[in-house]
Amino acid sequence: MFERLVPKLRVNTVFDIALEELYALGYRGIITDLDNTLVGAKAPLATPELLLWFTKVKELGFKLIIVSNNNMERVSRFATPLNIEFVHQARKPSNTPFLKAMKQMGLTPEQTIVVGDQMLTDVYGGNRLGLYTVLVLPISVKDEGIGTRFNRRVERIATTRLRKQGLWHEEDKPE
């Protein structure tokens, strides 16, 4: 059960993802979470560094879509000015938003990467569909809502069990 919570890759931030390597392996699309993955949960706009990352993603040839459990107003306010497609109120880890995002990009699971800060929503949802999952450290834990705080407690229990099973190694942990 807990094995589905293990990401293929763990990094500190989206900036640490080796995009060129993943593109060379055949990945062509990125489904990314918004809050605490790209920006803090209360940050309304992209940072200059993130804008450069979006440019790099597109220049390499990746398609990009934001899939967020947050509401239309929050996700639209962030994504629309950047001309980034999005799926709001996604209800991750449900399969539906991931399948919808892949359809919008015209890609298969074998071509798709999921990036997020939560094991229970982003990683679990992506792993169930065979997507390449990347777990980033949350940007601003203090701004998280009650549901996310609950998920974090469950994640701590899961990582403890995964360590005991030899499936979660601290040397893999980002610095």
Peptide bond into 48 cis (omega under 30): no
Q: How confident is the model at residue 175 (pLDDT cuts 50, 70, 90)?
A: very low
- Whether 137 has a pLDDT exceeding 50, the answer reads yes
Is 104 within a domain?
no
Copy the structure tokens of residue 29. Answer: 């699309």
- Residue 51 pLDDT greater than 80, yes or no: yes
Q: How many whole angstroms from its chain centre is CA 57? A: 14
Q: Does residue 123 form part of some domain?
A: no
C-beta of residue 13 within 8 angstroms of C-beta of residue 175: no
Q: In this model, does residue 106 exceed pLDDT 90?
A: yes
Determine the 3-state secondary structure of 61 from DSSP: coil
**pTM given for the model:** 0.88
Does some domain include residue 164? yes
Q: How many domains does the chain have?
A: 1
State the residue range of the domain holding 28.
Answer: 1-58+144-168
